[in-house]
Structure 1
C-alpha cells in the first residue's frame, strides 16, 4: 500500500468518525433540572443502569456528573462535567455545565467546545435570566440550540404560551417535534408530530429507571385520553397554520429551534430528545483558527483546551486538561506541540471521563473531549497540534464584578498558599490580580459571582491545607487599560490598576458606574476598554 493511499484512507476514517460525533452542552437557569437531564440521557443511552438524582436531603445522592464534594453537599453543579456516551453508532460528548450565574464563565468556556446546546426550560417558569444570558452566548458563538421544556409532570404554563415567550423574548422560532397530551401537571403522553404516533408514558418508581412507553394508534389514544387528546389536536392544528415546522437550515443558522416536551426526573420524553440529538444535532465540523481560516476535520491533529481541573482524583492530586479535538486523529502517546510555547507535550496519560469515573482512551476524533492528565503546562484556551503550526483563538475571560484580597490565615502555609492561588488561577476558578503595592502575599481575587469565593475557601483548605481570609474590596467594575494610562488611573480616587496574572493584561478596577462615568468624562484620553460582560461583548 502506498503512502498516498494510506493517507487517503486515514483522512476518510477521520471524516467518517467526525460525522458520528455529537458534542453538546446543557444550559439553563439554576434548578431547571440540568444535571437530572444529563443523567436521564445517560440512562436512556444505557451508559448507567439507574439515575442518581433522588429527592430528599437526608438520603440524597449526587448525580453522576456532580463529582465535587461541594456540589454533592449543596445540590448544585459548580464545575462542568464531561460525559462520553455511545448510542446508536454515535459518540455523544455531553458537557454538563454549572447552572448558577456565579459560575457562568465556566459555562462560557464549555460553549466554546460544543457544536450544539440543549436549552432547558422549566415548564412553570419559562425563560429565566440565566437562560437568557446563556442563550446570548450561544447566539454570539453561532451554536445552534435544541429546546427541551422540562417538568411537564408538574403544574406549569400553557404550551403555546411558552412557545410565544421564546419567540418574543429571544427571537428564536420554536418548531415543536412532539406535543404533550395533558396540561402541565397532568402529563399523559407525547404525540410525535412527523408521524402522528402517540406514546403514552408510565412512571417508574422514583424515576430511577427508564419510563415505560406504550404506543397507541390515534383511535386508541382518542378513546383513552378523551378531552386531553382533542385539545392537543386543536393545538397541533394551530401549529400547522402558523408554519411551526422543523427546518434544518434555520436551525443551523440559529434562527429556529427544534423543541420537545418532557420531564427529566421520571424520564418522560428523554428518549425522543436523545434521538433528536443523534438525528439533527450538527456533527463535528471545521473550526476557525486565529487567522480566520477553517481547520478541516481531516487536517493533522489539533485541539483546544477549554477547561482545567485539579484533584478530581483525591488519591493522586493530579491536574487535568479537558481538550476538544478539533481535527485529525488523536492517538495516546503522541508528542504534540504546545502552540503558546512551541514546546513538546507528551500525551502518555489520556482519559475519557464519565463524571468522577475515568478510563484510558487510546484514540479520539474531531468532536471528542479527552482529558490530559498531569497537564501543568497548559491553560484554558491553549492549542495543541501535530504537524504544521495551528492556533485557535483564545477563550475570553468575563468582566469580574466581585473582588477580594486573599491572605493566608497562617503565615507558615505561605508556600502552599502561593501554589494553591496559582493553581486556581490557571484553572480559571477565579481571576488573580496582583500589584507591586499589594505584593504576592495579598493577591486580589476577581470573580463573576460571590459563590466563586466559597469554592476558593473550600479548595484552599481541603486541597492545599492553606486556609485563607478574604477581605472584600469596594469595586464592582473592571476595564482593560494600557501602560500609558495606568499611572494616571492608579492615582485617581476610586480606582486601582492591577495586573491579571493569566495574561499580564492591565486592569483598572473602579468603585461603581457613576465613578467610571466621571473618570471617562474628565479623562477621555485614557484607555478603559470593556471586557466580556455576562457572556457577550460589552
Structure 2
C-alpha cells in the first residue's frame, strides 16, 4: 500500500446530527478532549461562565446556546486524522446542515434517551438515507430517566426505517444507571457519581450477573440479562456491510456531559466508520486514491475573523493531494485558480495547510470567486460533482439601513452574507428595495445581528406575507403579472427574475394562466 493510500485510509470525516438539546455540541467537545485538541470543555448551558462550546464560535451562538453555523474541527487521534463537522441544530438552518452532509463519509446521530427520535432528526436522517451515508447512533443522557432501550430500537426501526444493533447495552437508567455492557468485547464499563470507575471482563451472562451483584439492584440485573438474551435470540445480527451501506445503525449508550461511554464509542466508531469513498461526477466515478486533485465547495463563511473581514470557502477534497501553491480549475467558469492561503480549522482558529488529502476539509481564501456547489479540478479536464441541496425560502422581509450614512457598509454586508447561502437577497426592479428570503425565521434574527456586529449597520425590517419563491427559467413575464395583490416580481443577486407568491394556490393559478413560462424552486447555476 502506497503512502498516499495510507494517508487517505486514515481519514475519518463525519458530521454530528441531532435535534436541538440532544447533546450534539457536548459530545463533540468530549471527543476533542479525548484527542487532546482542547484542555477543557465549555458548557453551552453555563452562560454566566466565560467558557462556551468550542464549536459555537459566533457570538450570537454563545448568547443563545444554540449552533447556527457548521463548524469544522480537525485533529489527530490514535493514528487517525479526524474531521468533525458540527452542524446547526436549529431547524431554521437545516439547509446548511444538508449541504454539510454532502461533504462527509459518515454521520453520528445523537438521540436524547427521554425523547427518542424527534422531528429534526427525521429530516436530517432522510438526507443520510437518500445518500446511503453510514449512520452511528449515540443514545445520550442515560443518567436521566427515559425510554426503555428496546422501545428506542423499535422507534429507530419504525420511524427511520433502518435496522438497529446495540454494540453496548445500558445497566439501568437514571438513578439506577450503573454503566454499560459491551456486547462485542464482553466488558462491563462501570458508572458512578458521573464518572467511569473502571472496567471488567466477563465470560458469559452468569459471570455478568455475578459481577454486577455488588453494584446494581437485582431488578436492574434481571432486566439487563433478559434484554440481552432477547437481543441474541431475536435482535438484528451485526452486519458490517449493512452498516457501510447505511441500512443498519450500530447503537451506543452513554452520558456525554460526564464523558461516560464516549471513549468506547469513539474507539468502536473509528474501527467501523468508512474512510473517504468514491464519488460520482459528470466524468464518472472519482476514487479518493486517484492522484488527480478534485474537491467541491460546500460552505462559504464571511467574517470568521472580524478584524480581517475575510471570506472562506470550505472545500471537501475528494481525490488527489493538495500541495501549497498548486494551480486548479473551476468547473463553473473554466478559469484557472491558484489555491491561495488554504487553511485547516478548529472552530474559529486556523493554521496554514502544507498538504491535505482526500477526506480533508480545507478553507480557501475567497475574494468573491467561489459559489456553493463549485467543483475544483486539478487540470483542464474539468468535471462537476453536481449541485448541492438548496431550499426555496418560505419567509420574506423588506430591509433598509436605519442610518442612510451607512449605505456603503450596508451594501457590502448584504452581498457578503448572501453569498454564504444562508439567506437569499432580492431587489425590486424599479425602486431597488432589498427583499430577504429565508427558510426559517431565526435566519432573519441572525442576519440582523451579524449586520450590526460585523458591519456596524442597524436594520429596519418589515415582514412580507409571501410564502413561495420561484425562479423564471423560460419565457417572459407579462406586464400585468409584474406586481399584483398575490405576487411580486423581484431580481436575485445576479439579476435573474424571481416571482414571490402569497401561497401555493396563487402559484398554481399563475402557472395555469401562463403555461409558456417555466418556473424552478432553485436558481440555475451561472
TM-score (norm 2): 0.92
Match of 1:449 among 429, 437, 440: 440
What SS does the corresponding residue of 2:482 show, helix, strand or coil? helix
Are the aligned partners of 1:158 and 1:184 in contact in 2 as well (CA < 8 Å)?
A: no
Q: Does 1:26 align with 2:16?
A: yes
Superposition pairs of residues 240-251 of structure 1, within 5 angstroms: 240-251=232-243
Which residue of 2 is the match for residue 391 of structure 1? Answer: 384
Among residues 485, 489, 497, which one is paired with 1:497 in the alignment? 489
Q: CA deviation at 1:140?
A: 1.9
Range that drifts further, 492-501 or 154-163 = 492-501
What CA distance in whole angstroms lies between the structure 2 residues aligned with 1:397 and 1:88? 37
Q: How does 1:101-250 map to 2 (within 5 A)?
A: 101-203=91-193, 211-215=196-200, 217=202, 218=208, 219-227=210-218, 228-250=220-242
Map of 1:279 onto structure 2: 271
Q: Which of 434, 451, 463 matches 1:460?
A: 451
| Counterpart Cα distance in 2 of 1:436 and 1:516 | 20
- Provide the residue aligned with 1:535 in structure 2: none
Give 3-state SS (helix, strand or coil) of 1:317's partner. Answer: coil
Instruction: Assess if the C-alpha contact under 8 Å between 2:83 and 2:360 holds in 1.
Output: yes
- 1:64-108 deviation digits (Å, cap 9, x = unpaired): 111110011111111010010211111110000110011111101
Matched, 1:437 2:430: yes
Q: 2:43 aligned to 32, 48, 53, which one?
A: 53
Query: Following TM superposition, by how much is the alpha carbon of 1:184 offset from its aligned partner in structure 2, in angstroms?
Result: 4.1
Displacement after TM superposition at 1:54 (Å): 6.1
Closer, same or farther in 2 for the Cα pair 1:505/1:395, shift >3 Å? farther
Find the residue that maps to 1:224 and give its secondary structure.
Answer: coil
1:269 aligned to 2:261? yes
Q: Which runs of 5+ in 2 are unaligned?
A: 203-207
* Bigger mean CA deviation after superposition, 291-300 or 242-251: 291-300
SS across alignment from 2:98: helix
Tell me the secondary structure at the aligned position of residue 117 of structure 1: strand
Deviation at 1:307, TM superposition (A): 0.9
- Kept after mapping to 1: 8 A contact 2:426/2:434: yes
For 1:306 and 1:402, locate their aligned partners in 2 and report how far apart those are by CA, in whole Å. Answer: 23
Distance in 2 (CA, whole Å) between partners of 1:485 and 1:156 is 58
Moved more, 480-489 or 159-168: 480-489
CA contact (8 A) 1:14 1:298 kept: no
Map of 1:99 onto structure 2: 89
Change (3 A) 1:107 1:54: closer
Q: CA separation in 2, counterparts of 1:212 and 1:110?
A: 37
Distance 1:203 1:45, change over 3 A: farther
Change over 3 Å in CA distance of 1:170–1:185 after alignment to 2? farther
The partner residue of 1:427 within 420, 428, 443 is 420
SS of the aligned residue for 1:486 comes to coil
TM-score of the superposition, structure 1-length normalised? Answer: 0.90
Corresponding residue for residue 3 of structure 1:
none
Look up the SS of the partner of 2:176 in the other structure: coil
Question: SS of the residue aligned with 1:244?
Answer: coil
Secondary structure of 2:137 counterpart: strand
What number of residue pairs does the alignment pair up?
A: 514
Distance 1:248 1:431 in 2: 42
Selected match of 2:282 from 271, 274, 290: 290
Shifted more, 237-246 versus 147-156: the winner is 237-246
Structure 2 Cα separation of the partners of residues 507 and 297 of structure 1: 42
Structure 1: distance between partners of 2:97 and 2:233: 37
- The alpha-carbon distance between structure 1 residues 280 and 375, as it changes in their structure 2 partners (threshold 3 A), is farther
Deviations 1:433-491 (A, max 9, x none): 2342341xx22111111111111111111211222222211111223433415337535
Shift of 1:507: 3.2
Deviation per CA, 1:384-420, whole angstroms, max 9, x where unpaired? 2212323221213112111111212222222211111
CA 1:508–1:184: 2 relative to 1, 3 Å: farther
Is 2:59 the partner of 1:66?
Answer: no
Q: Secondary structure of the equivalent of 1:127?
A: coil
- 1:345 counterpart = 2:330: no
2:302 maps to 310
